[in-house]
Amino acid sequence: MTELKTETITVNMGPQHPSTHGVFRLILTLDGETVVDVEPVVGYLHRNHEKIGEYNNWIQNTPFTDRLDYISPMSNEFAYVLAVEKLSEIEPPERAEYIRIIMVELNRIVNHMIVVGFLLNELGCFFTPMMYCVRWRELVMDLYEMAAGSRMMPNYFWIGGVAADLPAAFLPQCKELVAALPGFIDELERLLTDSEIVQMRCKDVGVLPPDVAVAYGCTGPLLRASGVPYDIRRAEPYSIYDRFDFDVVVGTVGDVYDRYLVRIGEMRQSVRILEQALKDLPEGETATPKKKKFMPPEGDVYHRIEAPKGELGFYLVSDGSDHPYRYKIRAPSFVNLQSLPYLCRGHKIADVVVNIGSIDITMGEVDR
Amino acid sequence: MTSKESFEGLAAKFPQFGLEYQEGKDPAIVVNAENLVELAQHLCAEQEYDYCASVTGVDYPDRFEVVYHLYSTSKKGGPVILKVHAARENPEIPSVVSIWPGADWQEREVWDLMGVRFSGHPDLRRILMWEGFQGHPLRKDFPGMKDEYTFSEPSGEEEHD
């Protein structure tokens, strides 16, 4: 039998593609159906966020961070205000600290709901599971709207506290939601965790060994699914996270299925933190007195938080004026995305899509 | 270990490097560009700083500064912060991608937006701006307001089209 000549072909995937979570291009080198190499091309959503941030004043940048990872606006604001508070040595009041924790943990649940929903989308189960998860996201969005006046761009965190105290209806509604969430997560798991299709498509796909994950600088659920118990809320506790009792969820294999399980586990842990925060929420002030013109002292700081997607850090340089001299964002999606070629090599084209979904990227944050 | 202690340990180990301690809210270690790779290798291999969280370029009036925030995934505690200065004309410092592969895209971003070259980087191309773009937009002398902009067409064919 004569040997057939084969050669690799190059295929462009994106920038307009339903599975790329925004405008994002992949250059795939294929050998038949098998992926030989992947080169991610980013920057289609670049608007030089950091440069615009240098022209804004310190206070204007808080709502501007909402536009980074628009799935988790509260986390972005949290990281930014903590960095500015570290720079200018402002202590927010106790009640504001608790409200912030409630908001960001709700945000983590929202983010993981979206990731789990989209993962099923990417497996080919088009939008039914997605809508199922988004329904619960909407309930959180209602709470955001009640507290901040806006669903997705809340501008609720202020330097030195939060914008306003919680309205009277917030706490009962939030408690009701938090009480109902574990039941819904159970239901979601009954539908997905043991599903044969989910297991076949996700197990042993895109395995990321722990040493490779650390080398690529991966953080968040992507790193923990590989079995590295690194959570900034534990490794370098910020705000009042040292007061709460929760577990760091880790995986064992580091495949797509483990990343799904870690996100499910983290939602349960967030519910635990929420229960404690709602129980301990003290009365009192929610913000330090505001200044008309905010000018932090000279200096530079880096502050990082465990955002739903991984380490979100802000490196701020102040020259003592009313706007930052340098405003740099260390975006978790941007760094995590570097592991994509490693995850995809040797798998089929269809698995590329699943791998993107399991990394969890938002282009608003990758491209900045 | 406080940053002062880790600095003293490093300064005792590498007296020939002339390391400088910089006070501040986040104390940093200022290192010469030619010693950066050796110091980074030591921190990664001997002191478990296996995670390079952030690589930032800053444009100061008299110099470019690249800031590295190093953490450890196995031991607790705050970062070791390295600062490297580069000249205003043709700034260039050695790449640390061989030590922390995760610094790859961040170094490309610093090159793209700030124009600091990283010698020894495996693939130093623009990442957020397109190939053929002129200038480095995060520099302070790059126009930032809308009436200062001039847009230029991308020159030549893009590599993969």
In this structure, are strands B63-71 and A9-13 parallel, antiparallel, or unpaired?
Answer: unpaired
Q: How confident is the model at residue A264 (pLDDT cuts 50, 70, 90)?
A: very high
C-alpha distance from A274 to closest chain B C-alpha (Å): 25
Q: How many CB atoms lie within 10 A of CB A216?
A: 27
Q: Give CA–CA dist B112/B49, Å, rounded.
A: 26
Cα–Cα distances (Å) from B61 to A19, A304, B58, B89, B140, in that order, read 44, 27, 10, 12, 9
Q: Give CA–CA dist B154/B133, Å, rounded.
A: 6
pLDDT per residue over A3-34, tens digit each? 777 788 898 887 877 666 778 888 989 888 88
Q: Give CA–CA dist B131/B123, Å, rounded.
A: 13
Long-range own/partner contacts, residues B29-35 (CB < 8 A, 24 or more apart): B29/B3, B29/B80, B29/B81, B29/B82, B29/B83, B30/B82, B30/B83, B30/B84, B30/B85, B31/B82, B31/B83, B31/B84, B32/B84, B33/B84, B33/B85, B33/B86, B33/B92, B33/B93, B33/B94, B34/B94
Q: Across the interface, do A304 and B53 touch by the CB < 8 Å criterion?
A: yes
pLDDT per residue over A168-178, tens digit each? 899 999 999 99
Q: Specify the pLDDT at position A111.
A: 92
Q: How confident is the model at residue A1 (pLDDT cuts 50, 70, 90)?
A: low
pLDDT per residue over A120-129, tens digit each? 888 887 888 8
Q: Is the pLDDT of residue A309 over 50?
A: yes
Of B25, B105, B138, the CB nearest to A301: B25
Q: Give CA–CA dist A55/A52, Å, rounded.
A: 5
Tell me which of B1, B2, B23, B25 to substitute to probe the interface with A (most A C-beta atoms closer than 10 Å). Answer: B25
Residues of chain A with Cβ-Cβ distance to B142 below 8 Å are 51
10-residue mean pLDDT series, chain B (161 residues): 74 78 84 87 84 90 90 80 88 90 91 90 88 85 72 58 46
Residues of chain A with Cβ-Cβ distance to B56 below 8 Å are 315, 326, 328, 330
pLDDT per residue over A245-259, tens digit each? 999 999 998 899 999
C-alpha distance from A83 to closest chain B C-alpha (Å): 11
Q: Is the pLDDT of residue A265 over 90?
A: yes
pLDDT per residue over A106-125, tens digit each? 999 999 998 998 888 888 87
Closest chain B residue to A220, measured at CA: B73
C-alpha distance from A138 to closest chain B C-alpha (Å): 33
Q: What is the mean pLDDT of residues A192-199?
A: 86
Q: Across the interface, do B128 and A337 touch by the CB < 8 Å criterion?
A: no
Q: Specify the pLDDT at position B148.
A: 67
Q: What is the mean pLDDT of residues A231-240?
A: 88
Tell me which of A216, A337, A367 to substitute to probe the interface with B (most B C-beta atoms closer than 10 Å). Answer: A216
- pTM for this predicted structure: 0.89
In this structure, are strands B80-86 and B28-31 parallel, antiparallel, or unpaired?
Answer: parallel
Q: Specify the pLDDT at position B161.
A: 46
Q: How many CB atoms lie within 10 A of CB B138?
A: 23
Q: Specify the pLDDT at position A77.
A: 92
Q: Could you tell me what percent of chain A has a pLDDT over 70? A: 99
Q: Across the interface, do B100 and A55 touch by the CB < 8 Å criterion?
A: no
Question: What radius of gyration do chain A's Cα atoms show?
Answer: 21
Residues of chain B with Cβ-Cβ distance to A43 below 8 Å are 126-130
DSSP letter for each residue of A311-324 = EEEEEEEE-SSSS-
Q: Dump strand ranges (E) for B23-149.
A: 28-31, 51-60, 63-71, 80-86, 92-94, 117-119
C-alpha distance from B109 to closest chain A C-alpha (Å): 10
C-alpha distance from B68 to closest chain A C-alpha (Å): 10
Mean pLDDT of chain A: 88
Q: Across the interface, do B56 and A48 touch by the CB < 8 Å criterion?
A: no
A75: left (phi over 0), alpha (psi -120 to 50) or beta: alpha
Q: First CA to last CA across chain B, in angstroms?
A: 51
Of B69, B79, B74, B71, residue with least CA distance to B2: B79
Q: Specify the pLDDT at position A200.
A: 87
Of B86, B114, B50, B140, residue with least CA distance to A235: B50
Residues of chain A with Cβ-Cβ distance to B130 below 8 Å are 43
The first and second tokens of residue A169, run together, are 């209806």
- Please tell me whether residue A31 adopts helix, strand or coil conformation: strand
C-alpha triplet A57, A59, A60: angle, nearest 5°: 65
**If residue A35 lies in a helix (H) or strand (E), which one and from where to where?**
strand A34-41
**If residue B104 lies in a helix (H) or strand (E), which one and from where to where?**
helix B104-114
Side chain identity, residue B145? M
Higher-confidence position of A193 and A293:
A193
Q: What is the mean pLDDT of residues A328-346?
A: 90
The first and second tokens of residue A162, run together, are 């939060």
Residues of chain A with Cβ-Cβ distance to B58 below 8 Å are 300, 317, 325-326, 328
Q: How confident is the model at residue A367 (pLDDT cuts 50, 70, 90)?
A: confident
C-alpha distance from A54 to closest chain B C-alpha (Å): 9
